[in-house]
A and B are shown apart, each in its own frame.
Chain A
Amino acid sequence: MDDETEGVVKKFMFLNRKAPYGTIYALESLEVVLISAAFDQDVSLAFVDDGVYQIVKGQHTKGIDQKNFSPTYRALEGYDIEKLYVEKESLEARGLTEEDLLVDVQVMDSAAMANIMAEQDVVISF
C-alpha cells in the first residue's frame, strides 16, 4: 500500500446480482470482497435480483461438480464485513424470506437500497 492509499477510508459496496452457479461472477466477486478487507475500507455487500440466491441456505453442488462456496459468506464477519443488505422485492419475487438465508442481513425495499447505494463512494457490480 502506498502513501496515496494509506489512511483513506471509502465506502465500498459490492453489488451481487447473479446466481451463485451457472457463471463465475459470484465466486470471483467474493474473492474481491475478501481482498478488500485487507485494505481497511468500509465494506458492504448488497444482494439483489438472482444475487439473493448466493446466500440461500442448504446449497448442494455435488450434482454439478462445483465447489460449494456458500460457507465463505458466514466467514465474512471474521473479516469485519458485517453490512449485508438484501433487497426485499428480489427475495419476495423468488418466494424467499429472511429465514431462508444463511447469514444475518438487513432486508430493505428497493427505495432504501437505492439510498444506501447513493451513499457509497465505490460500487463494484458483479
Chain B
Amino acid sequence: MKFGILVNEGPYNHQATDSAYQFAKAAIEKGHTVPRVFFYHDGVYNSTKLTEPPQDDRNIVARWSKLAEDHKVDLVVCVAAGLRRGIKDEVLAPGFRISGLGQLVEAGIQYDRLVTFGD
C-alpha cells in the first residue's frame, strides 16, 4: 500500500512528529511504501538543518533526512506555511524540498491512504 503522511506539528513540541516518523518507518518495514511526507502548519519546522538537539536526544530532522535517503521518501515543506515561519531553501536539511499545497492534494489523490498526524 502507498501511504501519504501529513505532519501538522513542530518537532520536540508535540508527539505527532515522532508518531509520524515511527508510522512511516513501520509501514516501510512491513513492505509498504511512503512516497511522500508533507509538512504543514508548525510541521514545517521539522525541515530545518539549524536544529541542534542535545546529544543524548533523538535528532528528529536528521532522522527524516535519513529516511528520505534510504527509502526515497519525498519530504515536502509547504511554501506558504514555511515562509510565515522563516523556513526557506537555505535552511533545509537534506532530503527536504519546498513546494505548494498541491503536493498534499496530489498525495491524497494518488496514494491509497493519507494519514494525518497532529492535534
> Given the complex of chains A and B, what is the CA–CA distance between A47 and B30 in angstroms?
35
> Given the complex of chains A and B, what is the CA–CA distance between A6 and B93 in angstroms?
32
Beta-carbon contact of B41 and A35 below 8 Å: no
Interface SS, A side: loop
B95 CB-CB contact with A under 8 Å: no
What size tier do the contact residues of chain B reach? 10 to 19
B91 CB-CB contact with A under 8 Å: no
Beta-carbon contact of B100 and A5 below 8 Å: no
Beta-carbon contact of A5 and B101 below 8 Å: no
CB A90 to nearest CB in B, in angstroms, measures 17
Question: Residue-by-residue, is A1-17 near B (CB-CB < 8 Å gives 1, otherwise 0)?
Answer: 10011001010100000
Beta-carbon contact of B102 and A38 below 8 Å: yes
Residue contacts A-B, CB under 8 angstroms, 30 given: A1-B106, A4-B110, A5-B106, A5-B109, A8-B109, A24-B41, A25-B8, A25-B41, A25-B119, A28-B40, A28-B41, A28-B81, A32-B104, A32-B105, A35-B100, A35-B101, A35-B104, A35-B105, A36-B105, A39-B106, A39-B109, A41-B105, A41-B108, A41-B109, A122-B114, A124-B104, A124-B114, A125-B118, A126-B41, A126-B118
